[in-house]
Structure 1
Amino acid sequence: MKAAIQLNGVSKVYKEKKAVDDLTLSIAEGTVVALLGPNGAGKTTTVSMILGMHQPTKGTVKLLGGDPRDQRVRDRIGAMLQDVSVIDGLKVGETIDLFRSYYKKPLPLDYLLKVSNLKAEKNKFATALSGGQQRRLGFALALAGDPDVIFLDEPTVGMDVTSRQLFWDTVKAMAGRGKTIVLTTHYLEEADSVADRIVVINNGKLIADGTPSEIKAETTGRVISFVAGQAVTTEALLALPGVTDVEWSGRRVKLYSTDTDRLIVALVENRFDMRDIEIQSGGLEDAFQALVQQAN
């Protein structure tokens, strides 16, 4: 597939600190990529360089095959950043129309009001919006020009449940139309459900890259949980083959293992007192924490 975004050996140094360290990354057109990392990992700096807001100290950045600063490229991208600046004296509909006027083929105003869940606020001054409503306005502005590549930086912070669901439904629909979407979020369950690919960076370096399932499988393995009888001890469980960790919550115990098939056989053969058995993969939150700990 054709690359929408390409970073080759990109580094960014501020004074003596490397915010991004020799990052090479290619993102195909029509994919949804979640860029994850702890605070200060280099996510914002990376997105800023892709958008052409900052220049790399070393390496090259290509966006839609060209320079991110080229106006022809900028006309094809949209960005919803963490800080939304609204214009005094303009209502919500007027603000969106102003941004629509910057593009040759903007999306209709009614559509943008609908997907941002701001129809009721159309004639309200933008400065009077709540924090969550301003985030939704930022989304409408990012989509105004019907961009081919969309950047979403912590997009659902402050949104209520209904607005958040509508937001992700809209993102999935855009991905279905071949749009390339790059998002950062601290809500890892959202990244797990919507992203085709997870990219994790820490201390400016790429530490993991794969589908959500691949990331979870490589780092957390799978989990067997059950309600244990009184005679079951941590020591006995840790002695079983493949058990890497044991976690109790009352009498329900979780066994973390790289080979749950072998482990369940061992539990049965050793006649452990157990009931309500469940087998599940670890979550993206667990995988993320494991990756960051391994990298530090």
Structure 2
Amino acid sequence: MMPVRLSGVTRSYGDTVALDGVDLDVVEGSTTGLLGPNGAGKSTLIGLVAGLRRADAGTIELFGGDPRVAANRVALGMTPQETGLPDALRVGEVARFVAGHFPDPMPSGELLERFGLSGLERKQTGSLSGGQKRRLAVALAFAGRPRLVLLDEPTTGLDVDGRRALWEGVRAFHADGGTVLLTTHYLEEIESLAQRVVVLANGRVVADGSVDDVRGLVKRSRVTLTAPVLPELDGVIHTERDGVAWELHTADADALVRELVTRNVAFSDLQVRRASLEEAFLTITSAGMSR
């Protein structure tokens, strides 16, 4: 049974189409990252899977049932973009309160340690830093030992150390067989955590595959080299120069290198790199938004 299955899902807000006939299966034990520009439909999709919104058309299944039925959400954990914590309660009290809603919760000490919050049990949540509040909000999604966790922009506002502490907690959950569906603007986060990338643009899935698969959809490479001067070369999409250092963007790096050699161009320090995930993301979503 797929933890999540969407088939032909459409959702609009007035004249704005947030999702337009989206099909998506999330495999048990996987970590799937949703990428897309603002307004692409990522948070809408998360809300539909969590049973917080109703689709205009299509079907949504959570563990084989309707996500709006509470019994089907027992094995679900979630951290939305915006969360509120009771300022007067202590961190340990909040963790125990949330854990009390589940039949087999994770001990609060273990939960807090997993997300780098050890030693804060007796601190009131109102006195936590913004980053600590965010880490606690994410940690609470794992309190009930869920099978599936939905994370909507989980590391927004965190510094580098806080982000990496949260990543370690997510990795530990995944290593134990858990399933993760997350949205993020941090491409490094996708590369670090996700085995699968789904790119949304204009409410539609415009790319779906591994990080390498998504990079491969963009036929662009970066060729860097050192040369005092370069002639006009075929197939160069974009050129950047800093003194004798050149960066050439091309769809066919092999052909470009062959041309450099056959034309006896004096160069050194040649390197060829594939398109980065960021370049692929920008290219794919720009194409998707223009449709």
Q: TM-score, normalised by structure 2?
A: 0.94
Choose 270-279 or 33-42, whichever is displaced more: 270-279
CA contact (8 A) 2:62 2:73 kept: no
Residue equivalent to 1:189: 188
Cα contact 2:223–2:247 (8 A) shared by 1:
yes
**Corresponding letter in the other structure for 2:261:** V
Deviation readout 1:259-296 (Å, 9 max, x if unpaired)? 32232222222222222111111111111110122122
Q: Name the amino acid aligned to 2:111.
A: L
Which whole-Å CA distance do the structure 2 matches of 1:228 and 1:104 have between them?
Answer: 67
Distance 1:158 1:271, change over 3 A: same
> How many Å apart are 1:11 and its aligned residue?
0.4
* 2:225 alignment partner, SS class: strand
Aligned residue in 1 for 2:37: 38
**Aligned counterparts, 1:11-160, within 5 A:** 11-160=10-159
In 2, Cα distance between the equivalents of 1:21 and 1:248?
42
Q: Secondary structure at the match of 1:213?
A: helix
Q: Identify the residue that residue 264 of structure 2 maps to in structure 1.
A: 271
**Relative to 1, partners in 2 of residues 1:120 and 1:15: Cα closer, same or farther, differing over 3 Å?**
same
Note if contact 1:220-1:290 (Cα within 8 Å) is conserved in structure 2.
no
Shift of residue 16, structure 1, vs aligned partner: 2.2
In the alignment, does 2:230 pair up with 1:232? yes
SS of 1:122 mapped into structure 2 = coil
| Matching residue's letter, 1:63 | L
Distance 2:286 2:246 in 1: 23
* Matching residue's letter, 1:197: R
Q: Percent identity?
A: 36
How many residues align structurally?
289
How far off is 1:122 after superposition? Answer: 1.2
Partners of 2:176 and 2:260 in 1: how far apart? 48
CA spacing shift, 1:21–1:249, aligned 2, 3 Å: farther
Q: Which residue of 1 aligns with 2:239?
A: 246
Mean Cα deviation higher: 248-257 or 18-27: 248-257
User: Secondary structure at the residue paired with 1:120?
Assistant: coil
The one-letter amino acid paired with 1:232 is: L
Q: Give the 3 Å change call, closer, same or farther, for CA 249–290 of structure 1 in structure 2.
A: farther
Gaps of 5+ in 2: none
Determine the C-alpha separation between the residues in 2 that align with 1:133 and 1:113: 11
Range 218-227 or range 83-92, more displaced: 218-227
Q: Distance in 1 between matches of 2:181 and 2:152?
A: 8
Flag as ranges the 4+ runs of structure 1 deviating above 4 A: none
Q: CA–CA distance in 2 between the matches of 1:15 and 1:258? A: 41
Q: Which residue of 2 aligns with 1:161?
A: 160
Could you tell me how far apart the structure 1 residues matched to 2:97 and 2:223 are?
Answer: 55
Between 1:161-170 and 1:40-49, the stretch displaced more is 161-170
Q: Any stretches of 5+ residues in structure 1 without a counterpart?
A: none
Contact 2:111 2:142 (C-alpha < 8 Å) held by counterparts = yes
Q: Which amino acid aligns with 2:274?
A: S
Letter in 2 for 1:252: A
CA RMSD of aligned residues (A): 1.5
- State how far apart, in whole Å, the 1-side matches of 2:195 and 2:243 are: 36
Q: In the alignment, what sits opposite 1:288?
A: 281
Deviation at 1:148, TM superposition (A): 0.6
Q: Tell me which amino acid in the other structure corresponds to 1:200.
A: V
1:250 deviates by 4.0
**CA separation in 2, counterparts of 1:205 and 1:124?**
44
Question: 2:201 maps to what in 1?
Answer: 202
Q: SS where residue 86 of structure 2 aligns?
A: coil
In structure 2, give the amino acid aligned to 1:28.
Answer: V
- Superposed CA deviations along residues 51-70 of structure 1, whole A, max 9, x for unmatched, are 11000000000011111122
3-state SS in 2 of match to 1:248: strand
